[in-house]
Structure formats: C-alpha cells, structure tokens
Amino acid sequence: MLSLVEHVEAFASRAFQQYSERDLQGALRSLGRALQIDPGCEFALMMRGHIWLETNHPRLAIRDLDVVIVHNPESISAYLRRAEARRSMGQPHAALRDCEQILLRDETNPTALHLRAGLKTDLRRFPEALEDLDRLVEFHPDHLKGRIDRGFVRFILGDLQGARTEFGTVMVSSDPAEENTVALARVLFTVVERTIHSLR
C-alpha cells in the first residue's frame, strides 16, 4: 500500500508525463489530486502555476505561487512566475516588487533583469530600463534578446548609433536557437539605418 508521500509523487509524476504529452487538462487534474493530499507540495504548486500561466489564467497562477512563497520565501522561480503573471494582468508595480525580491537574492539573475527592464519600458521609464539592460549585457553578453531590447531602448532615447551597434551585434550570431532573434535584429537594423540616412 502506498504512503501519502508516494501517492503525491505518483500524481506529480503522472502530471509531468501528461504535460510532456501536452495533455494540460489531465496534468491539472493530476496536480489537483496531489494537492488534495499535500496542499503545500511545492513541485505541484509550481507546475500548476506554470500551466495556469501557459493557459492564460494568471490569477489562478498567482494563487498557487502565493502559497509557494509563503512556505518558501527564497523561491526565485515562484517570484519570477508571479512577476510574469502580474505583468500579464497589467500590474507592473507589483511585478516590479517581485523582480526586486529575486534580485535581492541573485543580483545578476538574467531573467529578472530582463523582465524588470521590460516592466520599466512598459512604464516608459526608459533610462532605468537601459540601466537594467546594461547590467544584463555586462554579466550575460550572449543574452541576445537583452541586446535587442537595449537597442530598442537606445533608439527610443535617440541614441541611433548605439541602437545600430546593438542590432548589428545580434545579427552576427550563428546560434541556430536564436534564428528568430537574429531575423528581428536584421529588420530593426534596417529601420535604424534608414532613420540615420533620413536625418543626414
């Protein structure tokens, strides 16, 4: 006979398998069963929160992530997911507070720096966004999406040569996983070139 812990592990394992097969509703049911047995199971709460986000239910994601953070206030992943959920709900200031919690624990966390820069861009706080993107690229020079965003913010701030340099740097990447980012950089590089040419 299975113990309660073994039952939770079995449901969580089933949920992981269902998720990998893209049976999201089945995964949610299995996670719900695991959480009926152990309401504080961090793995099940995190996974369910991720699925809620993926299926455009940020309020439900926040509910699960709040529980994780209450039990484990050092969970960077929970703060990050909650920040993403809050951003999708149009709560940028709350999302920024979650980013601050992450960066207190890991001051060069690339995902948190990138997300915080995006939130500041949403709020039109462009110089502050640029500070975060500068820090991101300083510590993670291969973060191409960060470079794209830094180029965009520089363009908004009128630094056309700086924007051109950023997009040009991304364009020479040979990483096949970044093919779409490189294609976007080419388009933006052309836009900047045309803008520079029109101002001559």
Separation of alpha carbons 20 and 132, rounded Å: 34
User: Looking at the predicted structure, is the pLDDT value of residue 1 above 60?
Assistant: no
Query: Concatenated DSSP letters for 135-193?
Result: HHHHH-TT-HHHHHHHHHHHHHTT-HHHHHHHHHHHHT---GGGHHHHHHHHHHHHHHH
Tokens of 111: 């995902």
Tens digits of residue pLDDT in 35-44: 999 998 899 9
Confidence of residue 159 (pLDDT cuts 50, 70, 90): very high
**Chain-wide mean pLDDT for the chain?**
94
Q: Are the beta carbons of 16 and 36 closer than 8 angstroms? A: no
Domain with CATH 1.25.40.10 in the chain: 1-90, 107-200
Tokens 């900047």 found at:
192
Which whole number is the average pLDDT over 114-133? Answer: 98
| In this structure, CATH architecture of domain 1-90 | Alpha Horseshoe (1.25)
Q: What percent of the chain has pLDDT over 70?
A: 98
Q: Are the beta carbons of 85 and 65 closer than 8 angstroms? A: yes
Which superfamily does 107-200 belong to?
Answer: Tetratricopeptide repeat domain (1.25.40.10)
Tokens of 177: 């996983």
Q: Are the beta carbons of 85 and 58 closer than 8 angstroms? A: yes
Position 5 scores a pLDDT of 75
Tens digits of residue pLDDT in 171-188: 998 888 899 999 999 999
Q: What percent of the chain has pLDDT over 90?
A: 84
User: pTM of this prediction?
Assistant: 0.89
User: Looking at the predicted structure, is the pLDDT value of residue 155 above 90?
Assistant: yes
Which whole number is the average pLDDT over 10-15? Answer: 88
Position 2 scores a pLDDT of 52
